[in-house]
Amino acid sequence: MNKLSVFLFLLSIACSGSLGFSQEGAFKPLDISFDLGKLKQLDFGVDSLDPDTILFHLFPAPMSEDDPELSEWKTSAYWTCSSCWRGELYSFEEDEDFEKELIPYERNYTSCTSILNYKTKDGIERAMASFSSSQTNDGTGRFTRGVLSLAHFEKQNGNWKLIDFNPFVNLQGSFTLASPVDAVVFNPNGKVYFTIHGGEANGVSPEDYWPLYQGLYVIDGESLSDVLYLKGASCRENGEAVGSVWDTEIMKIESNVFGTNIETKTTGLIVKEYNWFLPKALQFISKSDFDLLPLRFSFTANQAFYYTTTGWRFEKPVITIWYTDSKGIKHEQLVTTQNTCVK
């Protein structure tokens, strides 16, 4: 057999996978489990929490440097979980009704996206770590969501200890990344809630002219689960887009035996020429009334949400608008709103 024949023979074996170098066979996710009791016994450090350290304590599946999907821009765990709960998570994004995914995936790439440090009303040091899991590790796909995981830590006797962990909080975000927790809200009794301003465009967009819409999530600090999600809670200009902008903030959260009450305030500017999407509160204005409003106006909308045993109910928003007319005269007025969303 000549050298060329030997080369072709070996090449055919390699391509068929007989030498064991097929990508699927060589790089498999590690099968892990989530034992909250054991995880609570671990020490996660005495100083500031290190993202990679807590990642591999909670998701003990480090990737090999030879893995073809090892990303240079983030450290990831690569895992599967044969013992995990399997179910559907829903994502309510963009103009779609919803998307759903069976979680966890057959293979999961997980990275630590944020660590938020804060102190309780009693001065106890705590931290909330956010993680994002996806089926790929390349950060592509504007409509590719990420699964958010949350790990809650507390400084106890000088050591960081895990006090709660939810690997499957929600499905949201884009470019394979779920938006992380970014702020803390306390109710009058000191109960902790967390907010996420994101879940839609993650602050980036592939087209310069698109406005950036972001939702607002409220996370219960005890269950580490969604309490409320408001779609399109903020809008940012991006690139050449010059038009409507607004923000929504949590003004108050109260909890009682009957449920949770949340008050929000949305403030911004509407330019009808660039009005592709309205904030939720303004969608309670009838089309005929909205058409009578000036082409450019500022607004403030206050709204209350109540969570009871039967689900969420809400009050119609109180909306004030103001604008300057062609004569330079300033106007301010309350706008009539409906009891239900009309747009």
> What pLDDT was estimated at residue 9?
38
Is residue 340 a part of any domain in this protein? no
Q: What is the mean pLDDT of the chain?
A: 85
Lowest mean pLDDT among 5-9, 147-151, 154-158, 321-325: 5-9
Residue 192 placed within a domain:
no
Structural domain includes residue 67: yes
Q: Which amino acid is at 106?
A: E
Query: Encoding tokens for residue 254?
Result: 């109260």
Q: Is 265 part of a structural domain of the chain? A: no
The number of domains in the chain is 1
- Is 231 contained in some domain? no
CA dist., res. 115 & res. 152, Å (int): 10
Q: Three-state DSSP class for 129?
A: strand
If one compares 324 and 3, the residue with the highest pLDDT of the two is: 324
- 96, 101, 131, 214 from 91: Cα distances, Å: 9, 8, 17, 13
Cα gap 75→81, rounded to integer Å: 19
Residue 95 is part of which domain span?
28-181
Tell me the pLDDT tens digit for each residue of 92-104: 655 455 678 899 9
Does residue 337 lie in a domain region? Answer: no
pTM of the complete model? 0.85
Helix (H, G, I), strand (E, B) or coil at 211: coil
Q: What is the pLDDT of residue 337?
A: 94
Averaged over 186-209, what is the pLDDT? 76
Question: Within a domain: residue 9?
Answer: no
- Identify whether 2 is part of a domain: no
